[in-house]
Amino acid sequence: MARPLRMLCFALLLASSSLQLANAQPFGSLGRGPVQNNPPATELIIARLHFGTNGNIRHSGWSHNYPWSDREINSFLKRKTSIDVDEFSYRIVELGSDEVFDYPFAYVSEPGEMQLTEQEVHNLREYIIRGGTIIMDDFDGDWQWDQMESQVRRAFPDRALLPIDEGHVLYSAHETLENLQAMSQYVPGNDITYYGLYTDDGRLAIMAGHNNDLANFWDWYSDGSMPLKPSTDAFRLGTNAVIYAMTH
């Protein structure tokens, strides 16, 4: 790489780092690990849930692809919808805290590592009953499914996670997906299946994509790690989930 180009790249990296630090503060007492974000006062702020884990993914699954996947899906929402949202409209939120009730839309990464505390189970149930919506993403195989389902059942022992029918408005709320299986060859596991937990009035409150990883597509498409067409479907599905949550 020629020296002027190296200097330009270095300057851009410094500018990007400064921008991120300006919008963030350390998450945790020592500032190590994921960095907390102070979102702007926009209509939509997506909560990235932090929850109790069993350590099967080194207690870090909840933060996979953070913060770049969060920023990318927000940027897509800003471009494609009329929602008042910004690239930095996201925040790490403790599932066991009262703060979770301030954010009607939440994202969960690696729910196959969930081992919720009693307070988190209580808050999960209350969050859904009060009208909250959650995407559960990035889990595959039988053991991760079993673990996720066992934790949801603690909050809702009388309900089952059911496959979301292909005719459900989720798949067309704002964007049309070309192929529900287009992402499957780029993620672990077998065919992707989308499951839902429904409330008494039929609202889809939890959307769980088994054998899929939307955040990988959101995070990696821009550097060429993911092909454009399945990545586009991942952004479309995330957008539809947000639109559905805000209108149901």
* pLDDT attached to residue 21: 37
- End-to-end CA, the chain: 52
Q: State residue 42's pLDDT score.
A: 98
For residue 153, which of 197, 112, 194, 195 has the smallest C-alpha distance? 197
189 pLDDT band (50/70/90 cuts)?
confident
Going by C-alpha positions, the residue among 232, 168, 182, 241 that lies closest to residue 212 is 182
pLDDT digits (tens, 9 = 90+) for 136-176: 999 999 999 999 999 999 999 999 999 999 999 999 999 99
The whole-angstrom distance between residue 110's C-alpha and the CA centroid of its chain comes to: 10
Domains of the chain: 35-247 (3.40.50.12140)
| pLDDT grade for 14, boundaries at 50, 70 and 90 | very low
pLDDT over 70 at 245, yes or no = yes
pLDDT per position as a tens digit, 40-96:
999 999 999 999 999 999 999 999 999 999 999 999 999 999 999 999 999 999 999
Q: Where do we find the tokens 């550097």? A: 223
pLDDT at 190: 80
- Alpha-carbon span 143 to 96, nearest angstrom: 24
* Element (DSSP H or E) covering residue 197: strand 193-198
Is the CB of residue 241 less than 8 Å from the CB of residue 108? no
Tell me: the pLDDT tens digits for 92-146?
999 999 999 999 999 999 999 999 999 999 999 999 999 999 999 999 999 999 9
Task: Please report the pLDDT score of residue 33 as a whole number.
Answer: 84
Structure tokens at 182: 């287009």
Residue 238 has what pLDDT?
98
Element (H, E) at 125: helix 118-129
- Percent helix, strand and coil across the chain, each rounded to 5? 45, 20, 40
Is the confidence at residue 207, as pLDDT, over 70?
yes
* pTM attached to this predicted model: 0.88
Amino acid at 158: D
pLDDT tens for residues 225-235? 999 999 999 99
